[in-house]
Amino acid sequence: MVSSLTKDTYSFLASHHFAVTSGWIGGLIVGLLLLLLVEKEVTRAVVRSLPPTTGRVFDIAAMPLLLTFAVVVIERFRALG
């Protein structure tokens, strides 16, 4: 299973242009990040007595997206220079 996933990922990346792939992935990450942040704000506005742990759940979910977005941006700048 892992070998098949690795081969599929490699063939996808080899067959698509870097700019298109990273742009599409970056757009997807930004969209998911915006969705999470909007959901967090709506939840906080609707439920006034929101426990602190609920707010941290959204923060924990957003961190991998922020890190992935940072990696995509860094790779885009490396590709330019």
The count of domains in the chain is: 1
User: Maximum distance among all alpha carbons in the chain?
Assistant: 50
Does 47 fall in a domain? yes
Element (H, E) at 20: helix 18-46
**Does residue 4 lie within any of the structural domains?**
no
User: What span, in angstroms and rounded, lies between the C-alpha atoms of 55 and 58?
Assistant: 6
Is residue 1 a part of any domain in this protein?
A: no
Domain carrying residue 56: 17-80
- Residue 74 within a domain: yes
User: Residue 64: inside a domain, yes or no?
Assistant: yes
Answer yes or no: are the C-beta atoms of 33 and 65 closer than 8 Å: yes
Q: What is the pTM of this model?
A: 0.55
* pLDDT, tens digit (0-9, with 9 covering 90-100), for 47-74: 777 677 776 777 777 788 788 878 888 8
pLDDT at 1 over 60: no
User: What pLDDT is recorded for position 2?
Assistant: 63
